Amino acid sequence: MVQIDKDKALILQFNQIGIKDIATVGGKNASLGEMIVNLAPLGIKIPDGFATTAYAYRLFLQYSDLDRKLAQLFSTLDVSDIDNLREHGRQARTLILNAPLPKELEQAITQAYLELLPQDSVAVAVRSSATAEDLPDASFAGQQETYLNVHGVWSVLTATHQCFASLFTDRAISYRAARGYDHLEVGLSVGIQKMIRSDLATSGVMFSIDTETGFKNNVLITASYGLGENIVQGAVNPDEYLVFKPTLLKGYSPILEKRLGSKEIKMVYEQGSGKQTKNIPVAAEDRSRYALEDSDILALARWACIIEQHYSQINGNNTPMDIEWAKDGVTGELFIVQARPETVQSLKSQQILSNYLLQGQGELLLTGRAVGEMIGSGKARVILDVQKLAAFEQGEVLVTRQTDPDWEPIMKKASAIITDQGGRTCHAAIIARELGIPAVVGCGNATDIIKNGQELTVSCAQGEQGHVYQGIIPYQLQTTELEYLPKTRTKILMNVGNPEVIFSLAAIPCDGVGLARLEFIINNHIGVHPLALLESEKISDPVVKAKIESLTIGYRSASDFFIEKLSSGIAMIAAAFYPLAVIVRMSDFKSNEYASLLGGKDFEPIEENPMLGWRGASRYYDPKYKKAYSLECEAIKKVRQQMGLTNIIPMVPFCRTPAEGARVLLEMENYGLKQGKNGLQIYMMCEIPSNVILADEFCQIFDGFSIGSNDLTQLILGLDRDSALVAQLFDERNEAVKRMISQFIQTVHKNGKKVGICGQAPSDYPEFAEFLVRQGIDSISLNPDSLVKTVLVIADIEAQIESAN
């Protein structure tokens, strides 16, 4: 093989370059070559192509004395002055476009292009790749131009020339200046790559890390119809899919969550008008279905894992990746068209936990996708035209339809960003994360609702949904150092309910989840009584029936809607703490709470005291309800068996007698959840005096226990904790309650089983936490906001006990 002098070459084929050649062909092209050489043999498909070199670019500058002219021009640059920036950018681009390409470079590009596409019948993408691009600490994403659907030698040469000029777009100049890069030290390579016919199918972006929380075990995939530029630019609200890497790599199918995007337009090839691409509307039936089949979602996620593993080996540390993909509408094949290191979450410290908290309330104006778990506020500046950027003032909230890299000079001045369009991988989202400011994207009509000068608070600290409030609402930032948190003998677990915030909570050191409440998922993510889905003919209100039909559009059946929503919420909680145990309490709605769900009034009795009525275990085997319980079991089974999240431990609440416990286990077995099979353990809540008195018998049925101190206190003291009249008597520290808890712990341990507690009392009362530790309780499950401080208390108690012994 002939040895190539890369330092003097004008053109290099992708299979001649690798990641060590960033200085020669830029980050984008070096990465494509790296993958073609090393990952194509593993089955990952990357479109072929070639790249001009940085040497070719510098030859072009010298050829027309451009390096001297540009140096002189930039001596008077002031990037803080928008008008000055624009004028310098315009002059720089004019200088480049008016200078001819060297003949030897034109000949080299022509020859390589004709070798790549002898028949000249396939379109190519012509992409810029700067030599300071796609580095581990700076993405430079979207700073230079890309040209799609390019045909013919002349068009390729023209696009190459325009790419050279795009090194001096206003946004690129501003970005380099903000990061201290010399404008003339950065070179430019141009990649010419075969295009994939994703205009006839789908395309998108994926990250091998959770983009909002930095959780490293997830792959986030976004997808929309047509060419991928619309997703990158934020012109569409794409579908989103979340896949869990550890069990994916074990052969399971762990699609944790699927979110349907509106996908209103798609970018396709333009034919015969002189333009290269155009946007057209997406048919309503296509908008209402997912753009990717599950098999494609899983295939892309596996590729993301392989790509991440390869780059992590190169860099010697974990390297999450930002990857663009496309599906060919002719062949049905998937392709990777770009890959670069992720440069925001992967660089954050994992030892500092930051938590933003609103300190007041305001009128909710808008919601959208939350980007960055932060809060920002300021006066709104609505800008619809990139030519009006000079009006933007420091500290304002930018409100616009969508952003592209031309907006970056003002984005760094913003306190927050709000857009009508876009998803979690759009330009506005990427830059907001990089700048460390909150953004709410994909709001739909923000530019119609918000007015210039309106005071706003933008909160992305309340889960996956971002909120825009009227007025300036005070907020607080809490930071917690996690590095020196002590390890305790007593296992410290967490009480959780909301899957939307779960990957943020995963950063808090703990030993797993002691209580995951199904009621929260059913109430907030499903909202429908399960029997109303299974027996819709019994619903008396036609309006309610219509609402339920609307919610379940796109699902094979109403029961599939319930199972998919519930399994997704459970799976996200289990994934966040995998492989640690996650105890999932089966539904414990009371009849009045169930009646408040959509359609619930037609299926629930009216009880004088629902707290002591038809709840928990008594429902699960009852002929009037057990069909609904089967849906919960199906959801658990799907998460354990299909997604591989076997760290889930179902827990039965409010089980009055051992015989009732045995009946519930039989029902669960009928629905595919057999105790002991595939490591399945089933726990019981201890919250009734009979659970304590008959603890020996319950230990013969269940694998472990968790004390629900709220209900147990209520029933030992004979008071209704919903009644304000006796609220002052409710106290878990009452001696009768403590004696019952102590007795239960000792009996369970005598039977070789484990017992924890999941009530609020250990968080509120240090002396109660001390009592539990001295009784030898195996675990204490705490609410997230009190976990860190209570760990310190428990560590101190354990130290005192040890020193006393």
R_g (Cα) of the chain, nearest Å: 30
Encoding tokens for residue 686? 């201890």
Could you say which DSSP state residue 491 is in?
E
Backbone phi, then psi, for 363, in 5-degree steps?
-70, 130
The residues, ordered by sequence, that sit 6+ positions from 112 with a Cβ below 8 Å of its Cβ are 11, 13, 50, 192
Encoding tokens for residue 240? 């989103």
Cα gap 16→5, rounded to integer Å = 11
User: Is the separation of the CB atoms in 373 and 213 below 8 Å?
Assistant: yes
Confirm whether 310 is a catalytic residue.
no
The residues, ordered by sequence, that sit 6+ positions from 588 with a Cβ below 8 Å of its Cβ are 517, 518, 519, 615, 616, 653, 654
Cα gap 314→308, rounded to integer Å = 10
Cα gap 741→747, rounded to integer Å = 10
Cα–Cα separations (whole angstroms), residue 594 to 10, 545, 566, 590, 771: 71, 17, 16, 6, 36
- Helix, strand, coil share (%) of the chain residues, nearest 5: 40, 20, 35
- A 10 A CB-CB count for 325 gives 28
Among 163, 460, 633, 758, the one annotated catalytic: 758
Cα–Cα separations (whole angstroms), residue 296 to 221, 346, 645: 11, 26, 21
Encoding tokens for residue 84? 């000055």
The half-sphere exposure of 779 on its side-chain side, counting CA atoms within 13 A, is: 26
Cα gap 47→174, rounded to integer Å = 32
Confirm whether 758 is a catalytic residue.
yes
> Is it true that the peptide bond before 579 is cis, omega within 30 degrees of 0?
yes
- A 10 A CB-CB count for 77 gives 18
Cα gap 197→717, rounded to integer Å = 70
Torsion of CA 792, 793, 797, 799, to 10 degrees: 20
Cα gap 639→258, rounded to integer Å = 14
Nearest to 425 by CA among 619, 151, 592, 232: 232
Render 665-684 in DSSP notation, one character per residue.
HHHHHHTT--TTGGG---EE
Encoding tokens for residue 297? 């979602």
Nearest to 217 by CA among 268, 256, 274, 262: 256
Cα gap 238→298, rounded to integer Å = 17
Could you say which DSSP state residue 240 is in?
E
Among 161, 183, 310, 427, the one annotated catalytic: 427
Cα gap 121→114, rounded to integer Å = 11
Q: How far is CA 431 from the centre of its chain?
A: 16
Phi-psi map region of 316: left, alpha, beta (phi>0 left; psi -120 to 50 alpha): left
Cα gap 241→298, rounded to integer Å = 10
Could you say which DSSP state residue 523 is in?
I
Encoding tokens for residue 404? 């592209």
Cα gap 158→303, rounded to integer Å = 34
Using a 10 angstrom Cβ sphere, with 0-12 exposed, 13-18 middle and 19 or more buried, the burial of residue 633 is: buried
**β partners of residue 65:** none
User: Greatest CA span in the chain, whole angstroms?
Assistant: 94
Encoding tokens for residue 81? 């002055």
User: Is the separation of the CB atoms in 463 and 500 below 8 Å?
Assistant: yes
Catalytic residue list: 427, 758
